[in-house]
Amino acid sequence: MTRKAFEHARRGFTLIELLVVIAIIALLISILLPSLAGARKTARTQKCISNMNQVAKANHTYAGSFKYFMSGYSWDWHRNYSSFGDLQNAGSSVQAHADQAVDIVRRMMGADASTYGRITDRMMDRNYGHLPAIDGGFFSEKLPEPVVACPEDKSTLIWQKNYLTPLDGIQDTGDPDAGSLPPYKMMYPFYSTYQYVPNAWCPERQPPYQMYQANILGGAQQQGNHLLYYHFPGNTKLGTRNLADVGYPSQKVWIFDLYARHFGKRTFWHAHEQAIQPLLMFDGSVAVRKTRDSNKGWDPRFPDDLTRITEYTFWPYSFEAAQALNSSGQDTVKGYFRWTRNGIRGVDFGGNEVRR
């Protein structure tokens, strides 16, 4: 090798050549990153659908074991079931269900009232309706249960990770219910992303049905704001819904997420027309549906008035996954599949609203 050739071989890259290589690498990264991010998002969506399929299997197995009664809290307010003295003598169905939830967690976690106190200020059926099925052995028989958390629901995943120190998890995510009392906050690690529609655990009308008048309140209903959900006239008996009473199982939503997290660049409130999300139907199938394709639902306060539908204000707080679309910071939305006309006997998708 000549001296000139040797010096040329030792010279390596020039600055321009190095910059060209860096630019090519940056271009390749910019091309590949969106596809990789899209692949990860698709994987999380499929994981969410898989989770919901497992929830469906657990719920149907539960129903098959208990005369087709749906999974949910079943304690009556006028009876005592718990071995914990402070979880007895409930004065309402709502309180009895909260007592049952706390009883399950205490027993499964090997804890007592010093860790999980009595909850007196919250309804547990919405996002904790899976606990009776876990207690019955229809999930993995452990708490927290991984499959009840959507992989896009970062808050619930953090709470599950910090299940022994829930307040640390809340510090990381922010408190979604700052007005709640400490015993309820301790339950966050056992929260489920997936929410049961109200009529899966509450009757559509307040019995006796034959005495029902249009101006008398029915069962669960939506209040004016999206975070104020339910009202129970008298002492409505809860947790008595039966799968045999579902009119159109493949067309009626059983479980959904409050937020449509998987499709598009932003997260929508489930009742926004733009929302698209996986929905668990009563026949156990999971289908990705657009909210705008759902029937508009009803207003449970006036079930015999076909012109009335539930409308309420979505006025989100800073901690919420979705924000308002209106520049005023609040949107008026419809009830859709959460408030299906005629409840579990009605139709959400693939047919006209019906009465039976």
CA distance 92 to 220: 15
Higher pLDDT, 319 or 272: 272
- Position 56, amino acid: A
Q: Tell me, what's the pLDDT at 28?
A: 82
Higher pLDDT, 6 or 62: 62
Q: Give the DSSP letter string of 220-245.
A: S---SBTT-----STT---S--BGGG
Under 8 Å between Cβ of 173 and 319: yes
CA distance 170 to 157: 11
Place of tokens 């660049």: 265
- Position 185, amino acid: K
User: If you average pLDDT over each of 267-281, 287-301, 318-332, which comes out highest?
Assistant: 267-281
Dihedral, CA of residue 101, residue 136, residue 57 and residue 250, to nearest 10: -60
What mean pLDDT value characterizes the chain?
A: 88
CA distance 124 to 101: 7
Q: What is the pLDDT of residues 104-139, one digit of tens each?
A: 999 999 999 999 999 998 889 889 999 999 999 999
Statement: residue 207 has pLDDT above 60: no
When pLDDT is averaged across residues 53-77 and rounded to a whole number, the result is 94
Taking the mean position of all CA atoms in its chain, how far away is CA 332? Answer: 21
What angle (nearest 5°) sits at the alpha carbon of residue 306, between those of residues 302 and 311? 65
Q: Tell me, what's the pLDDT at 209?
A: 44
The DSSP symbol for 42 reads H
In residues, how long is the chain? Answer: 356
When pLDDT is averaged across residues 6-32 and rounded to a whole number, the result is 73
Phi and psi at residue 134, in whole multiples of 5°?
A: -65, -45
Q: Tell me, what's the pLDDT at 47?
A: 97
Torsion region of 353: left, alpha or beta (phi above 0 gives left; psi -120 to 50 gives alpha)? beta
Furthest C-alpha separation in the chain:
108
